[in-house]
Amino acid sequence: PEEELSTVERARDVATEAAQSAGEPLRELHGRVEDVTVKTDKSDIVTEADHQANKIITTIIENEFPDHTIFSEEAETVEGDSEYKWVIDPVDGTGNFAHGNPQYSISIGLLEGGEPVMGVVYVPETDEMFHAVKGGDAYKGEKKIQTSDRSALDESMLLSGWDPDGEFLTHFYQETRGVRALGSAALSLCYLANGSAEGIWEYGTYPWDVAAGVVIARAAGATITDRHGEEYSVEFDSDERKELLGSNGEAHANILEHLQKNEELMR
Protein backbone atom coordinates (compact mmCIF):
# COMPACT_ATOMS: atom_id res chain seq x y z
CA PRO A 1 0.00 0.00 0.00
CA GLU A 2 1.13 3.55 -0.70
CA GLU A 3 2.42 5.55 2.22
CA GLU A 4 0.13 8.28 3.40
CA LEU A 5 1.31 11.79 2.59
CA SER A 6 1.96 14.32 5.34
CA THR A 7 0.03 17.62 5.30
CA VAL A 8 3.08 19.40 3.91
CA GLU A 9 3.57 16.84 1.12
CA ARG A 10 -0.10 17.08 0.27
CA ALA A 11 0.26 20.86 0.24
CA ARG A 12 3.11 20.54 -2.28
CA ASP A 13 0.94 18.44 -4.59
CA VAL A 14 -1.95 20.89 -4.31
CA ALA A 15 0.41 23.84 -4.90
CA THR A 16 1.86 22.32 -8.08
CA GLU A 17 -1.65 21.64 -9.36
CA ALA A 18 -2.74 25.20 -8.53
CA ALA A 19 0.36 26.67 -10.20
CA GLN A 20 -0.23 24.66 -13.37
CA SER A 21 -3.87 25.75 -13.51
CA ALA A 22 -3.00 29.40 -13.00
CA GLY A 23 -0.22 29.17 -15.58
CA GLU A 24 -2.62 28.46 -18.44
CA PRO A 25 -4.36 31.85 -18.63
CA LEU A 26 -1.03 33.55 -17.96
CA ARG A 27 0.53 31.91 -21.01
CA GLU A 28 -2.43 33.09 -23.09
CA LEU A 29 -2.25 36.68 -21.86
CA HIS A 30 1.56 36.89 -21.86
CA GLY A 31 2.73 39.93 -23.81
CA ARG A 32 -0.86 40.88 -24.71
CA VAL A 33 -1.68 42.77 -21.53
CA GLU A 34 -3.52 46.04 -22.09
CA ASP A 35 -4.82 46.88 -18.64
CA VAL A 36 -1.92 47.76 -16.36
CA THR A 37 -2.80 49.31 -13.01
CA VAL A 38 -0.16 51.30 -11.14
CA LYS A 39 -0.11 50.52 -7.41
CA THR A 40 2.39 52.58 -5.39
CA ASP A 41 4.62 53.91 -8.17
CA LYS A 42 5.32 53.47 -11.89
CA SER A 43 7.33 50.27 -11.45
CA ASP A 44 4.80 48.68 -9.07
CA ILE A 45 2.09 47.38 -11.36
CA VAL A 46 -0.65 44.79 -11.40
CA THR A 47 -2.75 43.40 -14.25
CA GLU A 48 -6.07 41.62 -14.60
CA ALA A 49 -4.03 38.44 -15.13
CA ASP A 50 -2.47 38.72 -11.65
CA HIS A 51 -5.97 38.78 -10.15
CA GLN A 52 -7.14 35.93 -12.33
CA ALA A 53 -4.17 33.77 -11.36
CA ASN A 54 -4.69 34.66 -7.71
CA LYS A 55 -8.32 33.56 -7.85
CA ILE A 56 -7.46 30.21 -9.43
CA ILE A 57 -4.72 29.46 -6.89
CA THR A 58 -6.62 30.49 -3.78
CA THR A 59 -9.79 28.66 -4.85
CA ILE A 60 -7.88 25.38 -5.26
CA ILE A 61 -6.07 25.75 -1.93
CA GLU A 62 -9.22 26.78 -0.04
CA ASN A 63 -10.98 23.73 -1.38
CA GLU A 64 -8.30 21.33 -0.19
CA PHE A 65 -7.36 23.09 3.05
CA PRO A 66 -10.41 25.04 4.25
CA ASP A 67 -8.87 25.63 7.70
CA HIS A 68 -5.58 27.10 6.51
CA THR A 69 -4.82 30.82 6.44
CA ILE A 70 -4.15 32.14 2.94
CA PHE A 71 -2.20 35.27 2.24
CA SER A 72 -1.50 36.66 -1.21
CA GLU A 73 0.09 39.81 -2.58
CA GLU A 74 -3.10 40.54 -4.48
CA ALA A 75 -5.60 39.62 -1.75
CA GLU A 76 -7.41 42.36 0.09
CA THR A 77 -7.79 40.63 3.43
CA VAL A 78 -6.40 37.70 5.37
CA GLU A 79 -8.74 35.47 7.29
CA GLY A 80 -8.02 33.04 10.06
CA ASP A 81 -4.97 32.33 12.12
CA SER A 82 -4.06 28.75 11.37
CA GLU A 83 -0.80 26.97 12.18
CA TYR A 84 -0.50 26.61 8.39
CA LYS A 85 -0.19 29.83 6.45
CA TRP A 86 0.07 30.04 2.68
CA VAL A 87 2.03 32.93 1.22
CA ILE A 88 1.32 33.47 -2.47
CA ASP A 89 2.60 35.67 -5.25
CA PRO A 90 0.36 34.88 -8.23
CA VAL A 91 2.75 36.60 -10.65
CA ASP A 92 6.28 37.39 -9.53
CA GLY A 93 7.74 39.61 -12.20
CA THR A 94 4.58 41.36 -13.39
CA GLY A 95 6.72 43.90 -15.25
CA ASN A 96 8.33 41.13 -17.30
CA PHE A 97 4.97 39.47 -17.80
CA ALA A 98 3.30 42.64 -19.07
CA HIS A 99 6.20 43.35 -21.43
CA GLY A 100 6.29 39.88 -22.94
CA ASN A 101 9.49 38.80 -21.18
CA PRO A 102 9.23 35.08 -20.27
CA GLN A 103 10.98 35.46 -16.91
CA TYR A 104 8.04 35.58 -14.57
CA SER A 105 6.84 32.95 -12.12
CA ILE A 106 4.08 31.82 -9.81
CA SER A 107 5.24 31.51 -6.21
CA ILE A 108 3.37 29.45 -3.61
CA GLY A 109 4.89 28.98 -0.15
CA LEU A 110 3.63 27.42 3.05
CA LEU A 111 4.63 28.30 6.61
CA GLU A 112 4.06 25.95 9.52
CA GLY A 113 4.26 27.66 12.89
CA GLY A 114 6.00 30.57 11.17
CA GLU A 115 8.64 28.35 9.50
CA PRO A 116 8.75 28.11 5.70
CA VAL A 117 8.24 24.38 5.04
CA MET A 118 7.10 24.03 1.41
CA GLY A 119 7.74 25.96 -1.75
CA VAL A 120 6.55 25.72 -5.34
CA VAL A 121 7.75 28.12 -8.03
CA TYR A 122 6.36 27.58 -11.52
CA VAL A 123 7.52 29.25 -14.73
CA PRO A 124 4.58 29.09 -17.15
CA GLU A 125 6.54 29.98 -20.30
CA THR A 126 9.08 27.19 -19.89
CA ASP A 127 6.86 24.80 -17.93
CA GLU A 128 9.54 24.51 -15.23
CA MET A 129 8.18 23.40 -11.84
CA PHE A 130 10.57 23.98 -8.94
CA HIS A 131 9.52 22.48 -5.62
CA ALA A 132 10.73 21.39 -2.22
CA VAL A 133 9.56 20.33 1.19
CA LYS A 134 11.70 21.29 4.20
CA GLY A 135 13.90 18.38 5.24
CA GLY A 136 13.82 16.89 1.72
CA ASP A 137 15.56 17.56 -1.57
CA ALA A 138 14.84 20.32 -4.07
CA TYR A 139 13.50 19.46 -7.51
CA LYS A 140 12.91 20.88 -10.94
CA GLY A 141 10.13 18.63 -12.15
CA GLU A 142 11.29 15.12 -11.24
CA LYS A 143 14.95 16.02 -11.30
CA LYS A 144 16.86 16.71 -8.10
CA ILE A 145 18.65 20.08 -8.13
CA GLN A 146 21.61 21.37 -6.14
CA THR A 147 23.50 24.59 -5.67
CA SER A 148 26.91 25.03 -7.32
CA ASP A 149 30.13 24.61 -5.34
CA ARG A 150 32.12 27.61 -6.57
CA SER A 151 33.44 29.83 -3.80
CA ALA A 152 35.74 32.25 -5.63
CA LEU A 153 34.04 35.52 -6.47
CA ASP A 154 35.95 35.88 -9.74
CA GLU A 155 34.36 32.63 -10.93
CA SER A 156 30.88 33.52 -9.66
CA MET A 157 27.72 34.76 -11.31
CA LEU A 158 25.42 36.78 -9.06
CA LEU A 159 21.79 37.82 -9.29
CA SER A 160 20.38 41.07 -8.02
CA GLY A 161 16.93 42.51 -7.57
CA TRP A 162 16.07 46.10 -6.84
CA ASP A 163 19.29 47.87 -5.91
CA PRO A 164 18.37 51.51 -5.33
CA ASP A 165 21.90 52.94 -5.31
CA GLY A 166 23.24 50.51 -7.86
CA GLU A 167 26.19 49.85 -5.60
CA PHE A 168 25.81 46.09 -5.33
CA LEU A 169 25.59 45.90 -9.12
CA THR A 170 28.58 48.14 -9.71
CA HIS A 171 30.85 46.60 -7.10
CA PHE A 172 30.11 42.96 -7.77
CA TYR A 173 30.00 43.43 -11.53
CA GLN A 174 33.69 44.24 -11.24
CA GLU A 175 34.49 41.42 -8.82
CA THR A 176 32.59 38.55 -10.48
CA ARG A 177 31.72 37.02 -13.86
CA GLY A 178 28.66 39.22 -13.84
CA VAL A 179 25.52 40.33 -12.04
CA ARG A 180 22.11 39.75 -13.60
CA ALA A 181 18.76 41.27 -12.67
CA LEU A 182 16.05 38.83 -13.76
CA GLY A 183 13.03 40.72 -12.44
CA SER A 184 11.58 37.81 -10.49
CA ALA A 185 12.99 37.21 -7.02
CA ALA A 186 11.26 33.81 -6.77
CA LEU A 187 12.85 32.66 -10.02
CA SER A 188 16.25 34.05 -8.98
CA LEU A 189 16.14 31.87 -5.85
CA CYS A 190 15.43 28.85 -8.09
CA TYR A 191 18.40 29.71 -10.31
CA LEU A 192 20.53 29.80 -7.17
CA ALA A 193 19.02 26.43 -6.22
CA ASN A 194 19.86 24.76 -9.53
CA GLY A 195 23.42 26.06 -9.63
CA SER A 196 22.99 28.73 -12.32
CA ALA A 197 24.17 31.43 -9.93
CA GLU A 198 26.41 31.48 -6.88
CA GLY A 199 24.68 34.30 -5.04
CA ILE A 200 21.66 36.56 -4.92
CA TRP A 201 21.07 39.97 -3.39
CA GLU A 202 17.64 41.46 -2.95
CA TYR A 203 17.58 44.86 -1.25
CA GLY A 204 13.87 44.79 -0.50
CA THR A 205 11.76 41.67 -0.79
CA TYR A 206 8.26 41.06 0.46
CA PRO A 207 7.36 37.73 2.09
CA TRP A 208 5.34 36.64 -0.95
CA ASP A 209 8.38 37.15 -3.25
CA VAL A 210 10.55 34.68 -1.35
CA ALA A 211 8.48 32.37 0.93
CA ALA A 212 8.57 29.54 -1.63
CA GLY A 213 11.99 30.23 -3.15
CA VAL A 214 13.71 30.20 0.23
CA VAL A 215 12.51 26.63 0.91
CA ILE A 216 13.63 25.47 -2.55
CA ALA A 217 17.03 27.18 -2.33
CA ARG A 218 17.74 25.89 1.18
CA ALA A 219 16.72 22.35 0.26
CA ALA A 220 19.20 22.59 -2.64
CA GLY A 221 22.02 23.60 -0.30
CA ALA A 222 21.78 27.39 -0.22
CA THR A 223 22.46 29.70 2.73
CA ILE A 224 19.93 32.53 3.06
CA THR A 225 20.64 35.38 5.46
CA ASP A 226 20.44 39.13 5.86
CA ARG A 227 23.49 41.18 5.01
CA HIS A 228 25.04 40.52 8.42
CA GLY A 229 24.89 36.77 7.95
CA GLU A 230 21.89 36.28 10.27
CA GLU A 231 19.51 33.56 9.10
CA TYR A 232 16.69 34.93 6.97
CA SER A 233 13.19 34.55 8.37
CA VAL A 234 9.94 34.98 6.46
CA GLU A 235 7.59 37.36 8.24
CA PHE A 236 4.06 36.31 7.49
CA ASP A 237 1.75 39.02 6.08
CA SER A 238 4.34 41.72 6.62
CA ASP A 239 4.25 44.44 4.01
CA GLU A 240 7.70 45.64 4.94
CA ARG A 241 10.50 45.17 2.45
CA LYS A 242 13.41 43.14 3.77
CA GLU A 243 16.93 42.53 2.48
CA LEU A 244 17.98 39.03 1.50
CA LEU A 245 21.43 37.65 0.80
CA GLY A 246 21.55 34.13 -0.59
CA SER A 247 24.39 32.00 -1.81
CA ASN A 248 25.38 28.44 -2.57
CA GLY A 249 26.92 28.40 0.93
CA GLU A 250 30.48 28.17 -0.42
CA ALA A 251 30.58 31.78 -1.63
CA HIS A 252 28.72 33.24 1.36
CA ALA A 253 31.75 34.28 3.40
CA ASN A 254 33.33 35.99 0.38
CA ILE A 255 30.19 37.92 -0.47
CA LEU A 256 29.63 38.94 3.17
CA GLU A 257 33.23 40.08 3.48
CA HIS A 258 32.82 42.34 0.47
CA LEU A 259 29.57 43.72 1.79
CA GLN A 260 31.11 44.47 5.16
CA LYS A 261 34.23 46.03 3.65
CA ASN A 262 31.94 48.43 1.88
CA GLU A 263 29.87 49.38 4.88
CA GLU A 264 28.13 52.09 2.94
CA LEU A 265 27.47 49.80 -0.01
CA MET A 266 23.85 49.14 0.73
CA ARG A 267 22.82 52.50 2.03
Q: Which of 125, 198, 209, 250 lies at the binding interface for ligand IPD (CB under 6 A)?
A: 209
Three state DSSP letters for 76-97: CCCCCCCCEEEEEEEEECHHHH
Pairing between strand 199-205 and 242-247? antiparallel
Cβ count within 10 A of residue 265: 18
Cα 237 to Cα 246: distance, rounded to the nearest angstrom: 21
Task: Choose between 162 and 173: whose C-beta lies nearer to ligand IPD.
Answer: 162
CB-based contacts of 192, cutoff 8 Å, min separation 6? 147, 159, 198, 199, 200, 217, 220, 222, 246, 247, 248
147 by Cβ neighbours in 10 Å (0-12 / 13-18 / 19+) ranks as buried
Q: Which stretch binds ligand IPD (CB under 6 A): 28-36, 166-174, 201-209, 229-237?
A: 201-209
By CB under 6 A, is residue 250 in contact with ligand IPD? no
Q: Which stretch binds Ca ion (CB under 5 A): 82-90, 135-143, 146-154, 250-258?
A: 82-90
H or E segment and range at residue 56:
helix 48-64
Question: Which residues in the 154-173 window bind ligand IPD by CB under 6 A?
Answer: 161-162
Residue 116: contacted member of Ca ion, ligand IPD, none (CB under 5 to 8 Å, by partner type)? none
73 is in an annotated binding site: yes
Binding mask 198-237 for Ca ion (x = CB under 5 A): -----------x----------------------------
Name the CA radius of gyration of the chain, rounded.
18
Task: For the CB of residue 130, give the shortest distance to Ca ion in the complex, in Å.
Answer: 15
By CB under 5 A, is residue 73 in contact with Ca ion? yes
Q: Which residue minimizes CB distance to ligand IPD? A: 161
Question: Which residues in the 172-191 window bind ligand IPD by CB under 6 A?
Answer: 183-185
Task: Choose between 161 and 221: whose C-beta lies nearer to ligand IPD.
Answer: 161
For 97, phi then psi, to 5°, come to -55, -50
214 by Cβ neighbours in 10 Å (0-12 / 13-18 / 19+) ranks as buried
Question: Which residues in the 41-100 window bind ligand IPD by CB under 6 A?
Answer: 89, 91-95
Which residues are annotated as part of the binding site for Mg(2+)? 73, 89, 92, 209
Residues that bind ligand IPD (CB under 6 A): 89, 91-95, 161-162, 183-185, 202, 204-205, 209
